[in-house]
Chain A
Amino acid sequence: DTGVSQDPRHKITKRGQNVTFRCDPISEHNRLYWYRQTLGQGPEFLTYFQNEAQLEKSRLLSDRFSAERPKGSFSTLEIQRTEQGDSAMYLCASSLVRQGRWYTQYFGPGTRLTVL
């Protein structure tokens, strides 16, 4: 069990640039979540995938944000035309959902984004 991994761990970018983050979930997990955590706050749900299908998007996910999970394995989160308000820790989590039962979400180390 290698756990959830995220890349990069840190990203500094200038306002207006595009950034992309990657998340590799635990291999047998069919569900993948993205959360955003700003300073002094708990993580906030952004979106989730069941296999390759994106089933829910939070109102926090503006049109500048797009997420994909093309083969039901790793996922990418892209932010276009970054703004200073996008500065946050972006957390990925994965879990196994089977026969109508929930299983624990396991989190990656996060990608810290700083927009200058």
Chain B
Amino acid sequence: AQSVTQLDSQVPVFEEAPVELRCNYSSSVSVYLFWYVQYPNQGLQLLLKYLSGSTLVKGINGFEAEFNKSQTSFHLRKPSVHISDTAEYFCAVSDSNYGGSQGNLIFGKGTKLSVKP
């Protein structure tokens, strides 16, 4: 079975400061990894994804994440945050083995990023 742990439920940060949102996963099979963002009362928007290839993945809005297989981590980073980045961020994992999985996403509990002026 797969699981995702987001270590911080809330992360307050000042505008223009760097931020890192942590995500660790456990899985007995190879995985695809995703970060989604959710603004209040809205659905989920894909920020970035790791399917294969380069372990450093760049996404929208200046975010990037690094896949670390040995540490089973996929931390999300942004060098300088804006007020508009205030939202909840979800890390998710999906089994990459098409033959053995439905492809449904397993989500972490989310991290609320609060950017203060």
Contacts and interface: CB of A to CB of B under 8 A. Distances in A.
A91 B32 CA distance: 21
A64 B98 CA distance: 30
B28 interface: no
Interface residues on A, range: 20 to 34
Contacts, number: 64
Contacts of A82: none
A67 B12 CA distance: 39
Given A48-B104, A101-B98, A108 B43 contact: yes
B46 A42 contact: no
Interface in A55-100: 55-56, 91, 93, 95, 97, 100
A21 interface: no
9 contacts: A4-B43, A40-B110, A41-B109, A42-B108, A48-B103, A56-B104, A91-B44, A102-B103, A107-B43
